[in-house]
Amino acid sequence: MKPEERIIQLTQELINHNRRYYIEDQPIISDYEFDRLLKELSLLEQAYPHLADPNSPTKRVGGGVTKDFLTKTHRYPMFSLDNSYSLEDIKEWIGRIQKRLSQDPTVSGAEFSYCCELKYDGASVSITYKKGELIEAITRGDGNQGDDITTNVRTIKTVPLKLSAPFPEDFDIRGEVILARSAFNQLNEKRRADGLPEFMNPRNTASGSLKLQDSSEVSKRGLDCFLYGVVSENQLYNSQYELLQKTRSMGFFVPNNSALCHSIEEIQAFISHWDKKRKELDYEIDGIVIKVDRIDLQEKLGFTAKSPRWAIAFKFQAEEVITKLNSVDFQVGRTGAVTPVANLTPVLLGGTIVKRASLHNADQIEKLDLYYGDTVTVEKGGEIIPKITGVKKELRNGNGTKVSFTKACPECGSILERPEGEAAYYCMNHAGCAPQVIGRIQHFASRKAMDIDGIGDETIAQLVNEGVIEDIADLYQLEYKRLIILERMADTSVRNLLEGVDKSKSKPFEKVLFGLGIRMVGETVAKKLVKSFPTIEKLFSADLEALSEIPDIGLKIAESVIAYRNDEKNITLVERLRNAGLQLEKVVNTSVQTESVFTDKKVVVSGVFTSFSREELKSKLEFLGAVNQSSISSKTDYVIAGENMGPSKLQKADSLGIRILSESDFLEMLQS
């Protein structure tokens, strides 16, 4: 292909990818592949300058600007960073800046240090502060102008509305709006319960959340904002490292993971450390940002047309591989939602062999335009769950059959239904579809619900498939003589199972309510419902208005509760649970702890304890005013570590600087 033809082709491809990435939030290639195309175009333009287009993608920052919000011009342009993918690139960059600065007699011979920071994978914003108060927030947009998202940014708890003194009179601070993995997983868990399509990844979810029209919905997303840079008319700080410390003291959320490096060896060690450790973080990073530390040297180095000369980004290799799509299975969950799962030719990804990948729903299959036998790209969503991200259509042989979403339930053959406004298809044969029956009982017996010891998922499936149980109430009718004759059921296992079932009768009302599996009633919602309606009778007799008036409940959840109680089969089921001796009313604790050292502290409990069970410890913490967390994040205040706590959790807590308490430490704090 002639140079002029290749330049035209690359220009159009990059314009299209820019549009998909920045405007539509639907990229179809990786960052690495985009940067490779951009670099090829840049080299061609340098070799044939007479062919370069003034509107080339190499001459601008980012893409266009959406029109849904008021467009505003940045007071100071938001430049992009040059990317590198090897240590050699970093060495060349250091050589260039040292050569440039060596020509300045005021800095000739000076020793240079570099501030290394994590490169957060989110949505860039610029926030203006005057006299210590937030004035406006603008998206990066095309680098010169962006969308005014002030109302939405105000809902982000890690963005201070007023600063702690001392602070500059007037400045802009730059940061990255991100969604933690734990918050992302919680969002998707709720969307699954609501029958809504799952979000694809934290980065796009954070970006999309900033463009929601309703700021109250934004506040529910659990967004964070990590700040990393300040710009103003005057030089406010002597170094980037000092800037990070001072902005943290003003109240900004600045993760304490930066390092001051004095050599290429120290930079390499920092990169290598976080390339291995990044999977342990609760948020996603896609590289390391390296900056000349001294601000006066940054000013001397200046900018190119699109990037600062004094900074560069080292990008980690994307966790993505290519393999073949062999077939698609359709799985039925406990709610009846049918999910497509791709069967792949086994391939190594992120240190594990991947054979299956999520396809999410019918819309995703259609969007990918999948055919059996396709060569597909696979990555780990949030670096955890494998998913198909693209198709190598140029490798098709033309003999494949198009993948279509099934019209019938793969388990019971019932015709699937897709409720209006929802992405998922459902099997409505709730009582006669085995995976739904098994799933509901597994949910009821799970650790977060009734926590029944001695009965795992496989045992439940066996009991359903052999006709021993049909619903959750049947668990309380199990007898030794019926179980002992079953395959893989020895005397000890049967007795443990029956003992676990009997002990579950003492679980509190909110656990039973959550275990019922009412759509959209998760752990938190169950607790709020029980707080307002302390008996099952009061809950099931409440009308739509009374239910929806409960804080954070809303109309949809209220309708779901009413739909459940209006089904006569469910009323009969609950009555059988009552007769079995389960707790269907709240036990009121008359003693109240008004304040303690754990009040409003976020705590993770892990391991085995001698003085109490894990559930008893969590109940005690709730009584003391603490907030129990299921996983460690940067917001965790304490980790209470028992015996046999996993080493990865300990390492994560240690890396985040979270205080780790032993059982004796906890008891001493209570006594003091």
Active-site annotation, residues: 119
- For residue 620, give the 3-state DSSP assignment: helix
DSSP character for 278?
A: G
* Alpha carbon distance 553, 566 (integer Å): 19
The identity of residue 455, as a single letter, is: I
Upstream peptide bond of 166 is cis (omega within 30 degrees of 0): yes
- For residue 318, give the 3-state DSSP assignment: coil
Which residues, 6+ apart, have CB-to-CB distance to 152 below 8 Å? 137, 209, 210, 211, 212, 215, 218
The residue written with tokens 């005014």 in the block is 148
Provide DSSP, 29-43.
S-HHHHHHHHHHHHH
Which residues, 6+ apart, have CB-to-CB distance to 632 below 8 Å? 282, 604, 639, 649, 652, 653, 656, 658
DSSP character for 361?
A: S
The residue written with tokens 């333009």 in the block is 45
Rg of the Cα atoms in the chain: 28
Which residues, 6+ apart, have CB-to-CB distance to 490 below 8 Å? none
Contact predicate 89/44, CB 8 Å: no
* Alpha carbon distance 445, 145 (integer Å): 54
- For residue 54, give the 3-state DSSP assignment: coil
Residue (of 515, 568, 509) closest to 539 by Cα position:
509
Six-digit token string for 567: 């089904």
320-332 and 259-261 beta bridge pairing = unpaired
CB neighbourhood size of 604 (10 A): 22
Contact predicate 388/359, CB 8 Å: yes
Q: How far is CA 111 from CA 101, 115, 243, 260, in A?
A: 11, 14, 20, 13
Interhelix angle 202-209/181-194, nearest 10 degrees: 80
* Alpha carbon distance 477, 464 (integer Å): 14
Q: How far is CA 671 from CA 65, 610, 655, 664, in A?
A: 58, 17, 29, 11
Contact predicate 511/449, CB 8 Å: yes
170-179 and 659-661 beta bridge pairing = unpaired
Helix (H) or strand (E) holding 274: helix 264-277
Q: How far is CA 202 from CA 80, 350, 470, 563, in A?
A: 21, 18, 38, 33
Residue ranges of alpha helices (H) inside 331-433 are: 362-368
* Alpha carbon distance 355, 346 (integer Å): 5
Q: How far is CA 334 from CA 339, 440, 465, in A?
A: 11, 5, 15
- For residue 267, give the 3-state DSSP assignment: helix
Contact predicate 79/61, CB 8 Å: yes
- For residue 279, give the 3-state DSSP assignment: helix
- For residue 409, give the 3-state DSSP assignment: coil
Residue (of 170, 74, 162, 163) closest to 130 by Cα position:
170
* Alpha carbon distance 259, 244 (integer Å): 11
